[in-house]
């Protein structure tokens, strides 16, 4: 890749040659000239993320991260779950351009899959498969790892089932239908303690005493105690490593999908459905795949979350979760993996700590209300400000920026050297 054909050549930036854009272009040149950065930077990030408990939670920088920013194990876990959810939704909203306002349905379904196959909910059954519980408990207990995969499969199936009749609808009708499903599915779980006399979900009381991940005695012995027999609520590091691994897998899948044939088809459908269809992209199948793959990640996240919280309650799966995840995707930058991750991390931090810090502000003006209670108003305000000022998000994907700001004028099509900004499917990394 020579300098001229690198994505987003300086010309596409137009006349705006500010300090930032010149810094950007020199960084980009550095990246293209030194190929080793392609694997060194991701590797460094992975190593940093995995070693966080040793440099962030305790050790040299703990006073900044653990004490100052308050990123403890619990926050880390939540953050990772939200990153996973946001990346899953990114496939649906960012890549395929289908507005999904009911993503929480898949999160809930994943969690309840754990409830069905990894708890004592069906206490009259006695089915066990490689589970790592200390005693042989009544109920269905499959190995946690099997349940996670199962949750993904159930959600993919549900995604196809939901998507099949609805994905042919126009954009905003699709939004409202997904919203409907996002309301129906938690509602079914809420009322599921008496479906034709069967208790399927334990209703509002929720499912508790869920199985936890673990590797069993044999693997624990074989690795010299590195892989724990089963995770506990006291030792949170294994949880973090597990969910971090899942996040990395999610990022990897996202990256590979984006550049795959399917990913290019999604982008084509997002940009212009009719043109894509004319070019031979099967619309329904492409959209269904986006929906199903997005759902799979929701399911994974749901199963892990349910196990970590050790309780699944219908009230935790409200419309608000769908919106938070959507805001993460949008604020970060639809379609850009790094933007979405940044959005998820920033909003989790804001939700957990930023609002608490803001709590003193109304008092200074002689007002008495709790800022944390209006967190959704603040989310709403962020959405609004973002949409008016910077609809492409913090770190936009190159394509969306072009789409929203229309920086290419007609004459640009004639200039051969700037064509790559239009036709290069790969986005900036």
Partner 1 sequence: MATAETASRPALERRLPISQIVLWAVGLVLAALIGYWLIKNAIDSPDRFLEVTLIGVTNGSIYALVALGYTLVYGIIELINFAHGDNFMLGTFQTNGIVNDGTFQIPFFPTSFVLAIPLGTAATAGSSAGQKIYTIFMCLLFSMLFCMVINVSIERIGYKPLRNQPRLVPLITAIGFSFILQDVGLIWKGAGPQPLPNILPTGTIFSWRAASYAWDDFIVIAVTIPLLIALTYLVRRTRSGKAMRATAQDMDASSMMGINVDRTISFTFALGGALAGAAGAIYALYIGTTKFDLGFRLGLFAFTAAVLGGIGNLSGAVLGGVVLGLIQAYTEGFWDARWTTTVVFSVLIAILVFRPSGLLGEQVPEGQ
Least distance from partner 1 to the Cβ atom of residue 367, Å = 5
Nearest residue to 237 (alpha-carbon basis) of 72, 352, 348, 82:
72
CB of 53 to partner 1, least distance (A): 35
Spatial separation of the C-alpha atoms in residues 76 and 94, rounded to whole Å: 24
Closest CB to partner 1 among residues 234, 388? 388
410: which 2 tokens? 């007609």
Nearest distance from C-beta of residue 72 to partner 1, angstroms: 28
CB of 289 to partner 1, least distance (A): 17
Q: Phi/psi at 229 (nearest 5 deg)?
A: -60, -50
Residue 212's H or E segment, with its range, is none
Q: Tokens at residue 367, please? A: 């007002």
For partner 1, the closer of residues 149 and 404 by Cβ is 404
**Shortest distance, CB of residue 260 to partner 1, whole angstroms?**
24
Residue number with CB closer to partner 1 (240 or 379): 379
Give whichever of 4 and 172 is closer to partner 1, judged by the CB atom. 172
Query: Based on C-alpha coordinates, what's the Rg of the chain?
Result: 23
Residue 200 CB neighbour total at 10 angstroms? 18
Residues near partner 1 (CB under 8 A) are 97, 99, 101, 164-166, 169-173, 175-177, 179-181, 183-184, 187-188, 190-191, 319, 323, 326, 330, 362, 366-369, 373-374, 376-384, 387-388, 391, 403-404
Q: At a CB cut-off of 8 Å and minimum separation 6, what does 77 contact?
A: 236, 239, 240, 243, 308
Contact in structure between 100 and 173 (CB atoms under 8 Å): no
In the complex, what is the shortest distance from the CB of residue 13 to partner 1, in angstroms, rounded to a whole number? 21
Complex with partner 1: residue 368 or 410, whichever CB lies closer: 368
Count of CB atoms situated within 10 Å of the CB of 248: 16
CA 366 vs CA 268, 361, 378: distances in Å: 53, 9, 20
Name the residue nearer to partner 1 (CB basis): 319 or 353: 319
User: In degrees rounded to 5, what are phi and psi of residue 237?
Assistant: -60, -45
Cβ nearer to partner 1, comparing 278 with 367:
367
Pairing status of strand 126-129 against strand 139-142: parallel
CB of 196 to partner 1, least distance (A): 12
Beta pairing, strands 207-208 & 311-312? antiparallel
Q: Which CB atom, from 248 or from 374, has the smaller least distance to partner 1?
A: 374
Q: Would you say 273 and 290 are in contact if contact means Cβ atoms under 8 Å apart?
A: no
Kindly state the smallest distance separating residue 295's Cβ from partner 1, in Å: 17
């Amino acid at each position: 890749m020579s300098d001229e054909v690198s994505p987003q050549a300086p010309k596409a930036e137009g006349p705006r040659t500010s300090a930032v854009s010149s810094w950007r272009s020199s960084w980009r040149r550095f990246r293209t000239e030194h190929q080793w950065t392609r694997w060194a930077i991701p590797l460094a990030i992975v190593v940093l993320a995995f070693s966080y408990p040793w440099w962030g939670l305790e050790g040299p920088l703990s006073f900044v991260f653990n004490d100052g920013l308050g990123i403890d194990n619990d926050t880390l876990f939540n953050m990772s779950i939200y990153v996973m959810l946001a990346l899953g939704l990114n496939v649906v909203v960012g890549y395929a351009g289908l507005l999904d306002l009911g993503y929480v349905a898949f999160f809930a379904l994943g969690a309840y899959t754990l409830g069905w196959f990894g708890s004592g909910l069906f206490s009259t059954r006695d089915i066990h498969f490689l589970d790592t519980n200390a005693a042989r408990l009544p109920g269905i207990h499959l190995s946690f790892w099997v349940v996670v995969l199962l949750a993904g499969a159930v959600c993919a199936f549900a995604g196809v089932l939901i998507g099949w009749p609805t994905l042919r609808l126009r954009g905003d009708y699709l939004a409202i239908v997904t919203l409907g499903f996002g309301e129906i599915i938690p509602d079914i779980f809420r009322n599921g303690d008496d479906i034709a006399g069967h208790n399927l979900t334990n209703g509002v009381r929720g499912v508790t005493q869920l199985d936890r991940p673990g590797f069993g005695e044999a693997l624990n012995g074989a690795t010299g105690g590195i892989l724990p027999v089963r995770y506990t609520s006291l030792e949170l590091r294994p949880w973090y490593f597990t969910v971090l691994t899942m996040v990395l897998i999610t990022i990897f899948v996202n990256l590979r999908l984006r550049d795959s044939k399917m990913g290019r088809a999604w982008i084509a459908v997002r940009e212009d459905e009719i043109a894509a269809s004319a070019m031979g992209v099967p619309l329904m199948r492409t959209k269904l795949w986006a929906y199903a793959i997005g759902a799979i990640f929701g399911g994974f996240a749901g199963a892990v979350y349910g196990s970590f919280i050790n309780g699944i309650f219908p009230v935790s799966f409200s419309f608000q979760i769908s919106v938070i995840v959507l805001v993460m995707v949008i604020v970060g930058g639809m379609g850009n993996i790094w933007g979405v991750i940044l959005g998820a991390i920033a909003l989790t931090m804001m939700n957990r700590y930023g609002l608490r810090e803001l709590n003193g502000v109304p008092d200074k003006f002689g007002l008495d209300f709790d800022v944390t209670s209006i967190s959704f108003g603040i989310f709403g305000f962020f959405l609004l400000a973002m949409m008016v000022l910077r609809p492409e998000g913090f770190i936009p994907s190159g394509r969306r920026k072009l789409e929203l700001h229309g920086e290419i004028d007609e004459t640009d099509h004639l200039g051969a050297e700037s064509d790559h900004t239009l036709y290069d499917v790969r986005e900036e990394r």
